[in-house]
Amino acid sequence: MEYAAYPEPRALSERDPDAELVAGVGRQEPAAVRTLVARKLPRLLALATRMLGDRMEAEDVAQEAFMRIWKQAPRWREGEARFDTWLHRVALNLCYDRLRAHREEPADELPDAADPAATPDAQLEAQSREARVRAALAALPARQREALVLNYYQELSNIEAAALMGITVDALESLLARARRNLRAQLAGDDLAGTRTSR
Amino acid sequence: MTPERFRAIVDAYGADARHWPEAERAAASAWAAQHRSEADALLAQAAQLDVWLASDAAATDVAPDAALIERVIASAPNNRKLRQPRRLSLAWAGGGSRRAGWWWSGAAVAGVGLIGGLAGAFAVSFFLVTGNPSPGPESSYLTTGFGGTAADWSDE
């Protein structure tokens, strides 16, 4: 099995768990390429899908991110940043390029248009739970969404997520708490639909 | 661990201790065990949102389809190198592809331009070597309108 040549990443290991694999990609080893795609493509797709709210656009972002990997891998040096952190930053930058094209700035405040009271209750009821969660995530301010996606879904530590976002851990926790309050307010149903969301 | 800090952790990271800061996880869990009723009230509220978020994980975290995986793998440098000779061989073989047709028409335009350029360069260099244009029927075209006017008036 070709994948066995490259160990699975361990979050707590001191070495970059992807370093050996990236070196193999830099040497243009087909097994390394396949293993890296198998390991990172699902994570990139999930990240971009949640940031953009669109699977097709997320696939485009994932492909662009891999083009950056192919270009960077021969020059990759272990020690400065973990490869996974760098890859998340690349993917997030690509997502923000697209969000800006859609005129969604990376603000951390909730726009008025995202007020759940503005969404008809009947429409909310008609949506499945998954669709409602997706819609609520998409309605979050981009920085709140980024913090939640990195910490909850991508399972980055608070220190990694804060470093990736260029903020302190305290600021990350503030974004996370606001994101969760906003989501709870939007998803709580009729009882809370009329309440204002936190800012 | 203080009650305020426990609340802040749950507010930010949810009810699942796996998402809590590693450095505070043990202390927060111990505090929750010692203050069961207070902790449970906070955790129950956060757990509801965790269930909602988990439902999106099931819907969104689906495996990429095989076609996308193959497209990404094919974009890797070693695979791109393997694809290029096939395209070139079609072009050189004149296999009737649109790409090959464009290549030939482009080469023809470039060739005509090159011949024209060489002809112009030859004429200019010839001009410089001889020093001045050859006299003859064309000499009137190379003098100004003011040339020879005094001689014309003196004749009158």
CA distance A172 to A115: 23
Below-70 pLDDT ranges, chain B:
79-156
Cα atoms in the Cβ-side hemisphere of radius 13 Å centred on A161 = 30
Give the ipTM of the model, two decimals please: 0.74
* Among candidates A25, A41, A184 on the partner chain, residue whose Cβ is nearest the Cβ of B72: A41
Residue type, A19: A
End-to-end CA distance of chain A: 51
Domain residue extents for chain B: 3-60, 63-93, 96-133
DSSP letter assigned to residue B1: -
The pLDDT assigned to A112 comes to 46
Q: Where are the alpha helices (DSSP H) in B20-97?
A: 22-34, 36-60, 66-74, 77-92
Owner of token pair 């800012």: A199
What is the tens place of the pLDDT at every residue in A26-40? Answer: 999 999 999 999 999
* Distance in Å, alpha carbon of A151 to nearest chain B alpha carbon: 7
Whole-number pLDDT of residue A103: 66
Contact B76/A157, CB-based, under 8 Å?
Answer: no
Which parts of chain A sit beneath pLDDT 50?
A: 1-4, 9-13, 111-115, 118, 122, 126, 190-199
Question: Which residue type sits at B54?
Answer: A
Selection from A48, A58, A47, A84 nearest residue A69 by Cα: A84
Nearest C-alpha of chain B: how many angstroms from A61?
A: 11
CA angle, corner A106, sides to A103 and A110, nearest 5? 90
Torsion of CA A170, A174, A175, A180, to 10 degrees: 130
Output the pLDDT for position B62.
Answer: 79
* CATH number of this structure's domain A17-101: 1.10.1740.10
Closest B-chain CA to A177: B12
Location of structure tokens 């997706």 = A134
> H-helix or E-strand containing B128?
helix B98-130
Q: From the options 3.30.70.2190, 3.10.290.10, 1.10.10.10, 1.10.460.10, give the CATH code of A113-193.
A: 1.10.10.10
DSSP reduced 3-state for A172: helix
Nearest CA in chain B to A181: B11
Instruction: Enumerate the domain spans of chain A.
Output: 17-101, 113-193
Q: Residue B78: what pLDDT?
A: 72
Whether residues B49 and A180 touch (CB distance < 8 A) is answered with yes
pTM: 0.65
Q: Tell me which chain B residues have a C-beta less than 8 angstroms from the C-beta of A177.
A: 8, 11-12
Q: Determine phi and psi for B138, rounding to 5 degrees.
A: -85, -5
Cβ contact, residue pair B56, A155, below 8 Å: no
pLDDT for position A197: 44
- What CA–CA distance (Å, rounded) separates B63 from A68? 22
Which residue's entry shows tokens 């505070």? B24
| A25/B76 Cα distance (integer angstroms) | 9
Of the candidates A39, A140, A150, the residue with the CA atom closest to the CA atom of residue A99 = A140
Interface test with A, best of B43, B56, B61 (most A CBs within 10 A): B56
A66/B75 CB distance under 8 A: yes
